[in-house]
Structure formats: C-alpha cells, structure tokens
Amino acid sequence: ETGVTQTPRHLVMGMTNKKSLKCEQHLGHNAMYWYKQSAKKPLELMFVYSLEERVENNSVPSRFSPECPNSSHLFLHLHTLQPEDSALYLCASSPSSEETQYFGPGTRLLVL
Amino acid sequence: EDQVTQSPEALRLQEGESSSLNCSYTVSGLRGLFWYRQDPGKGPEFLFTLYSAGEEKEKERLKATLTKKESFLHITAPKPEDSATYLCAVQANQFYFGTGTSLTVIP
C-alpha cells in the first residue's frame, strides 16, 4: 500500500449504530487530519493530530470521537449519528501541520 | 472574515479550448496556496503549492499562478481526461478550502 488509505470505502449505518473509520498513511508524515465533505460546501476540517497529539478540534459534535494511536494510524469513532452527518469523510496527512496535505480516497457515509 | 471563493462554479469546455479557473482569497498572513484535483468518489489529488505573489508552476496542461489576492489555474488545450473538480485551499492560521470548480471537457 502507498499513500493514504481509508477503510471502509462505503458505510451505511443507522442512527443507533456504532462504527469506526480507519485511516493509514504510508508516507512517514507526522500530522493527520479528518475532514467532512458535503455537496456544494467547502471541506470542513474536523480534527488535526500532530505527533499523535490532537492540536485542533473544530467544534465537532461529541458523537464524532477521533483516536490517533500512532503517527501512521487515525480513527474516527462514530455513535448515534444523525442523517445530516451523511457525507464523504476524508483523511489527510502531511509532513508537519504546516505543509502540503495528501488525501486518502474517503469513506462515503450514509446515515439512515 | 477569512474566505476562499472559486469561480466559476462549473465550466464546460470543448476539447482544445483553453480557459482559466479563479481562486480569490481574503485571509491574513497567507502561508501557501494549494490546488487539488478531485475525481468523483475520490479524495483530492495534490497538484501545486504556491507561496508568494508572482510564483508560477506548471504540470502538463496545467499552469498555476498567484497574485496578492487570487490564483489562476490555466488549462491549455484540455482533454476529456482533465474533467474533474478543481479545489483551491489557502493556508493562513489554518487551512481554508473553496467549494471547487467542476470542469467538464467535451470531446
């Protein structure tokens, strides 16, 4: 595997389910990000981790819970989501939090 | 308020018909401007980073330029495979993304 990978690529869940999104980067980067992409809207930055520490949390509802166990892996734990949370969730990484970000393919999430 | 605006929202070109996409920004303390290409159902693919006014970068049929208030992505003699959404992002105290320009190149 090369670059940034995300699993699953597609996810359908009910509002009472608990699921997790996984991101792995094979670039040796130190910063990782979660973004939400909805139609006709700019990418919304959700969380930033630098050297495994959360450095930014942009007023994201607590039903989204990030986890960064090491510099190569990033998770987004989901629970009791709402239909308006349906979107493409993108993971990105960069050498540092000040440099160019490289994106994964995204997870298309549908909340029923 | 820090903001990134891309225009047009959508653009249809005939194959070979050159054009430009615009990204205007109002941020304090620009550190960098980034262009990405995004195909349907995929993540954004990095194209260019520009750091200072007057800087230009090229890759195949694409050329990105930067002024103090905006950036242009020039597409010369586009081909159908250039069809995609092109995203602009600026880095100030944080990253700000535009909503993108959806480009369709018709054979």
In whole angstroms, give the CA distance from residue A95 to residue A101.
Answer: 8
SS (H, E, C) B29-50: CCCEEEEEEECCCCCCEEEEEE
**What is the model's pLDDT at position B21?**
98
Q: Please name the residue of chain B whose CA is at the shortest distance from the CA of residue A109.
A: B41
Distance from CA of A61 to the nearest CA of B (A): 20
Distance from CA of A104 to the nearest CA of B (A): 5
In whole angstroms, give the CA distance from residue A97 to residue A50.
Answer: 6
A33: nearest Cα among A80, A68, A84: A68
**What is the model's pLDDT at position A40?**
85
Q: What mean pLDDT is predicted for residues B31-58? A: 95
Give all strands of the β-sheet with B70-75 in edge-to-edge order.
B3-7, B19-26, B70-75, B62-66, B56-59
CB contacts < 8 A, A to B, total 42
Taking contacts as CB-CB distances below 8 angstroms, the residues of chain A near B98 are: 42
Taking contacts as CB-CB distances below 8 angstroms, the residues of chain A near B40 are: none
Cis peptide before A8 (omega within 30 of 0): yes
One digit per residue, pLDDT tens: chain A, 112 residues? 579 999 999 999 988 889 999 999 999 999 999 999 998 899 999 999 988 888 877 789 999 999 999 999 999 999 999 999 999 999 999 998 888 999 999 999 999 9
Does B24 lie at the interface with A, CB-CB under 8 angstroms?
Answer: no
In whole angstroms, give the CA distance from residue B69 to residue B26.
Answer: 7
Q: Please name the residue of chain B whose CA is at the shortest distance from the CA of residue A10.
A: B41
**What is the model's pLDDT at position A1?**
59
**Per the CB < 8 Å rule, is B44 touching A103?**
yes
In whole angstroms, give the CA distance from residue B34 to residue A88.
Answer: 20
Q: Please name the residue of chain A whose CA is at the shortest distance from the CA of residue B85.
A: A40
**What is the model's pLDDT at position A2?**
77
Distance from CA of A66 to the nearest CA of B (A): 19
Calculate the alpha carbon distances from B10 to B70, B94, B103 in Å: 18, 26, 6
Q: What mean pLDDT is predicted for residues B51-78? A: 96
Per cent of chain B over pLDDT 70 is 99
Q: Which helix (H) or strand (E) holds A31?
A: strand A31-37
- Model pLDDT for residues B17-40, shown as the tens digit of each residue: 999 999 999 988 889 999 999 999
Q: How far is CA A3 from the centre of its chain?
A: 15
Q: What mean pLDDT is predicted for residues B62-88? A: 97
Q: What mean pLDDT is predicted for residues B52-64? A: 96
In 10 A of CB B62, how many CB atoms?
19
Name every residue whose Cβ is closer than 8 Å to that of residue B70 and which is 6 or more positions away in sequence.
B22, B23, B24, B25
**Per the CB < 8 Å rule, is A101 touching B94?**
no
Nearest residue, CB atoms, A103 vs list B41, B43, B98: B43
Per the prediction, chain B carries an average pLDDT of 95
In whole angstroms, give the CA distance from residue A3 to residue A72.
Answer: 11
**What is the model's pLDDT at position A84?**
94
Name every residue whose Cβ is closer than 8 Å to that of residue A48 and which is 6 or more positions away in sequence.
A31, A32, A33, A54, A55, A56, A97
